[in-house]
Amino acid sequence: MASCLSRAELELVKPYSDDYNTVLKQAQNDQHKQARPALKKKPDAKKWADYETIIIGYPNWWASIPMPIATLLESYDFTGKRILPFCSHGGGRFGQSITAIAKLAPNAKIGEGLSVHYSGGSSLSKDVAKWLEKNGVKTK
C-alpha cells in the first residue's frame, strides 16, 4: 500500500447555500429525506486501493453526518479500510455520526475519532497532531 497523503474536498453538483439559516434548512431537509446529493467530483477510484486509512472530516449536522458524506460512503468499497472520522460541532460532539458511518461502510474498521467544538480554539493544531499520532498516521 502507498504511504502517501492525499486530500479531496467534496463539491456538490447543486451546492448548498452560503446563507447560514438557509443551509441549516437545506441540511435538515436532506436529513429527513435521507437524500444523496450528487457529487461534482469524486476521489479517483483507481487510487482508492492505495489507501489503508481514510480520514473523513465533516460538520455534525442535525446529530449526524451531512448527506454528501453518505453519498461518498456509498460510492466506494471500504472493505479492509480504516476510517478515522473527525467532526466539528456546536456541542453535540459526534451525535449519531459514527453509527451512520459504520452502517454505510460496514466492512471498514472505524478508528478513534476527533470531535472539535466550533473552531477548536488555540490548541487545535496540537490536538489534531496528537490525534493523528495516536492513530499511527504519519504526516511527514
The per-residue DSSP string of 15-67 comes to PPPSSHHHHHHHHHHHHHHT--PPEEE---HHHHTT-SEEEEEEE-BTTB--H
For the residues 57-66, what does the mean pLDDT come to? 94
List, for residues 121-136, the tens digit of each pLDDT value. Answer: 999 999 999 999 999 9
Specify the 3-state DSSP secondary structure of 137: coil
Name the band, by pLDDT with cuts 50, 70 and 90, for residue 1: very low
The whole-number average pLDDT for the span 98-109 is: 97
pLDDT digits (tens, 9 = 90+) for 64-92: 999 999 999 999 999 999 999 999 999 99
Per-domain boundaries in the chain: 12-134
Interval 5-52: pLDDT, tens: 678 889 999 999 999 999 999 999 999 999 999 999 888 877 888 889
CB within 8 A of 41, min separation 6: which ones? 11
> Which of the four CATH numbers 3.40.50.360, 2.60.40.10, 3.10.20.30, 1.10.600.10 does domain 12-134 have?
3.40.50.360
Beta-carbon-side half-sphere exposure of residue 91 (alpha carbons within 13 Å): 0
**CA distances from residue 90 to 28, 77, 94 in whole angstroms, order as listed:** 16, 31, 10
